[in-house]
Amino acid sequence: MSTPQNATVSKITTSKQAIEYEHEYAAHNYHPIPVVFKKASGVDVWDIENKHYLDFLSCYSAVNQGHCHPKIVQAAKDQLDLLTLSSRAFHNDKFAEFAKFATEYFNYESILPMNTGAEAVETGLKLARRWGYLKKGIPENQAVVLALENNFHGRTFGAISLSVDPESRDHFGPFLDTLTAKKNGTDYIRYGIIEDLENVLKAKGDKVAAIILEPIQGEAGIVVPPKDYLSSVQKLCKEYNCLLICDEIQTGIGRTGKMLCYEHTEGCKPDVVLLGKAISGGVLPVSAVLANKDVMSVFTPGSHGSTFGGNPLASAVAIAALEVIRDEKLTENAKEMGDYLKQQLSQIAEKSNGIISEVRGVGLLTAIVIDSQKTKGKSAWDLCLAMKEKGVLAKPTHEHIIRLSPPLVITKDQIDTAVKAIAESIEELK
């Protein structure tokens, strides 16, 4: 029997206490860098002891506008006094405003709001399957959605069915077999290799409803495909009458120096775009699926929904978050600062005695690749710990890659400070 009357809130006063409480009372499904955020603004973060850090992760690109952007926070405060939730059983004025604004902003005809990026992915998969049955004429229960090797689309069953990562999949089966990155029984459809997709479509294109991909693979380590890859995929989609779904949850909202990453490919426009993370500036969970009406129309009342999706608080916040990106020219800053960051990191790489084997990325979605054979066995995790001690926060993806994706409000001076810390940390690995 639960006894809520016996529960007490214990004030956290030290980072050590916070880490101990989380370890004791929370599920161990994350392995965080040992720092405890207390407050943040822009690129700056402070822990409980008031030590200052520069955030070079941006909550996995959720705070592109910077932490606690005052315009976005104010929009939330203003809406909190009026209305936070209507459910979709009734209309509300803010969602109506957001729907019109967002479709004009991204140049799509229709939007379906959800809450998290994972929910946006699931919605996109459901949309693709239903479109496949109702519009393409795929026999019922046979629709296939193809993904690519080393993808990351979230942690739901649909997403992990697409995944090839054992950490995401182990002991969670059985999976949804028609959501797959498999080329055949054992091999996977390689990212950036158009021939792999072409061969799969030749074999079973009549049952393929959609291809889902990241324009740049994030969790895989900021993997940038060949320049013509996205346009080639879209050409195949048109040839085999299937949808192209771009998961822009991490790459979108200005991160790569374009509003959406697919815009780097001239003439390309996906059938479906998935958004999350920075669409709210990190103030609360908001996500969305964008498509034109000929695709979105397969959803009818009762076929899909969310109590909180499109709530007025989220809608007000998302409008403000998108206005900040546009009005403060953060997409342009991402391009300029991203070029500068890569230039500085490349100079470090040249002096690293091969410890940094590669610097890659687009805009402010950047990665450095560590050659662990030249670090006396130390990994990217060890480098991130060293950087943390010098006031720069990042997180490895895999054992040898560090993703560097600061808020888009970052300045040259802040980059210089961070680069100096990274260089000093590299020296410690020699």
Residues involved in catalysis = 152, 247, 277
In whole angstroms, what separates CA 188 from the centre of its chain? 22
If DSSP codes are grouped into helix, strand and coil, which group holds residue 358? strand
Q: Going along 193-268, which residue ranges are E strands? A: 208-213, 243-247
324 φ, ψ (degrees, to nearest 5): -60, -45
If you search the block for the tokens 């009026």, which residue do you land on? 82
With beta carbons less than 8 A apart as the criterion, state whether 95 and 286 touch: no
- Asked whether 388 and 313 are in contact (CB, 8 A), the reply is no
Q: CA 341 from chain center: how many Å? A: 20
* Tokens read off for 290: 């964008």
Strand partners, 188: 182
Helices and strands, counts by H and E, the chain: 14, 15
User: Measured between alpha carbons, how far is 66 from 133 in angstroms, rounded to an integer?
Assistant: 42
Q: Rounded to 5, what percent of the chain is helix, strand, coil? A: 40, 15, 40
**Quick one: tokens of 141?**
């229960």
Count CB neighbours of 149 within 10 A.
19
Neighbours of 46 (CB within 10 A): 15
CA-closest candidate to residue 255, choices 337, 318, 319? 337
What single letter denotes the amino acid at residue 197?
L
- Residues 119, 159: Cα–Cα separation, whole Å: 10
What are the φ and ψ backbone dihedral angles of 137, each rounded to 5 degrees? 85, 25
Please name the helix (run of DSSP H) or strand (run of DSSP E) that holds residue 60, with its range, or none.
helix 58-61
DSSP structural state of residue 224: P
User: At CA 418, angle to CA 74 and CA 408, rounded to 5?
Assistant: 35
